[in-house]
């Protein structure tokens, strides 16, 4: 499902215009992204949890030259589905 399809589905379920639904979907994504940037978790009951996780630095291999390289530590977004979502 693409974002435009999600907006259309939200508009139909909420009986709003696609423009209003697009604003709502964008706002929800922005709030989740801002929370993850602040390293907070976002828990949506019955759906799942979005969290920011630290990934440690590690050694990797450049596939074209087979040279060893250092991959720096970074923060990544992770999603853990809730039990009802897993059961679907």
Average pLDDT over residues 50-76: 95
Note whether 59 and 70 are within 8 A (CB).
yes
CATH number at residue 53: 4.10.520.10
Provide the domain count of the chain: 1
Give Dmax over CA atoms of the chain in angstroms: 57
State the pLDDT at residue 60: 95
Average pLDDT over residues 2-9: 95
Q: What are the pLDDT digits (tens) for 9-61?
A: 999 999 999 999 999 999 999 999 999 999 999 999 999 999 999 999 999 99
State the pLDDT at residue 74: 95
State the pLDDT at residue 48: 96
Residues counted in the chain: 88
Domain that holds residue 22: 3-87
Q: For residue 13, what are the CA distances in angstroms to 27, 28, 74, 84, 88?
A: 17, 16, 38, 20, 20
Note whether 43 and 49 are within 8 A (CB).
yes
């Amino acid at each position: 499902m693409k974002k435009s399809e999600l907006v259309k589905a939200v508009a139909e379920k909420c009986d709003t215009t696609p423009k209003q639904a697009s604003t709502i979907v964008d706002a929800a994504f922005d709030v989740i992204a801002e929370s993850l940037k602040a390293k907070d978790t976002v828990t949506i009951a019955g759906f799942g949890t979005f969290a920011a996780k630290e990934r440690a630095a590690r050694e990797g291999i450049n596939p074209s030259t087979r040279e060893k390289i250092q991959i720096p530590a970074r923060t990544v977004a992770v999603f853990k589905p809730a039990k009802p979502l897993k059961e679907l």
